A and B are shown apart, each in its own frame.
Chain A
Amino acid sequence: AQSVTQLGSHVSVSEGALVLLRCNYSSSVPPYLFWYVQYPNQGLQLLLKYTTGATLVKGINGFEAEFKKSETSFHLTKPSAHMSDAAEYFCAARSGSARQLTFGSGTQLTVLP
């Protein structure tokens, strides 16, 4: 069965610093991969997704992620953190035969002034 692991349940960065949120998936077949963001008391919003083609995917709000098959990873990055980036981030995967998304346990990002 597909599983998604997010390393670090809490990550703190200073405003202006690099944001790196880690995600690894388990699948012998490269899955479709997604990053979602959840702001307090809201639902999840799609940040970006990888389906096929270019392995570097750009999303909204300056975020991007790189699909690395050899490392079974899909880490999320942003060059310069902003206070408004403080939220919980979820990585999700869906392999070709699966009927639904599998989510990681989430990473809470705190941005320090």
Chain B
Amino acid sequence: NAGVTQTPKFQVLKTGQSMTLQCAQDMNHNSMYWYRQDPGMGLRLIYYSASEGTTDKGEVPNGYNVSRLNKREFSLRLESAAPSQTSVYFCASSELEVSGYGYTFGSGTRLTVV
């Protein structure tokens, strides 16, 4: 099915461990985004990539890095996980970095850091 695929769906990490969250879209979208969702705080932008080869910081980038591997894939890396990074992470894509376009979301990765 066309859309945004995230892996893994669930993950438990120990403090200090590292991991990469994977995201791939098959809609030929140019722009991709990583958000985190925490109760009562809505979605907050971590990083985004307006087009292949570019990445920019969002509202809450500290503790994260990203790679836009190609047009389809946009990964999020936690180098040294902290309990404050316990959250649900969503990847999204958009046809263009243009105002009238909405996003297509993946189903999320639930990350717990203990």
- A, B bound: yes
Q: Residue B21 at the A interface, CB < 8 A?
A: no
Taking A100-B33, A100-B48 as contacts, is the C-beta distance between A43 and B106 under 8 angstroms?
A: yes
Taking A100-B58, A104-B42, A105-B40 as contacts, is the C-beta distance between A94 and B105 under 8 angstroms?
A: no
> In the complex, which residues of chain A have a beta carbon less than 8 angstroms from the beta carbon of B103?
44, 46, 101
For chain B, residues 73 to 112, give those with C-beta under 8 angstroms from any C-beta of chain A. Answer: 90, 92, 97, 99-100, 102-108
A92–B102 Cα gap in the complex (Å)?
9
Chain B: residues with Cβ within 8 Å of the partner, total of 25
Our count of residue pairs bridging A and B at CB distance below 8 angstroms stands at 58
Say whether B97 contacts A42, CB under 8 Å: no
* Nearest opposing residue in chain B for A101, CB measure: B103
Chain A: residues with Cβ within 8 Å of the partner, total of 27
How far in angstroms is the closest Cβ of chain A from B23? Answer: 11
Say whether A106 contacts B48, CB under 8 Å: no
From A44, A92, A95, A105, B90 is in contact (CB under 8 Å) with: A44
A44–B35 Cα gap in the complex (Å)?
11
Say whether B100 contacts A32, CB under 8 Å: yes
How far in angstroms is the closest Cβ of chain B from A81? Answer: 23
Say whether A45 contacts B97, CB under 8 Å: no
Taking A100-B45, A100-B48, A105-B42 as contacts, is the C-beta distance between A95 and B106 under 8 angstroms?
A: no
> In the complex, which residues of chain A have a beta carbon less than 8 angstroms from the beta carbon of B100?
32, 49, 51-52
Taking A32-B100, A94-B99 as contacts, is the C-beta distance between A42 and B43 under 8 angstroms?
A: no
How far in angstroms is the closest Cβ of chain A from B56? Answer: 7
Among A92, A99, A100, A105, find the residue whose CB has the most chain B CB atoms closer than 10 A.
Answer: A100
Which residue numbers of B lie inside 8 Å of A, CB to CB? 4, 33, 35, 40-45, 48, 50, 56, 58, 90, 92, 97, 99-100, 102-108
A31-B99, A105-B40, A105-B41 provided; 10 other pairs, C-beta below 8 A?
A9-B40, A32-B100, A42-B108, A43-B105, A43-B108, A51-B99, A98-B99, A100-B45, A103-B43, A106-B42
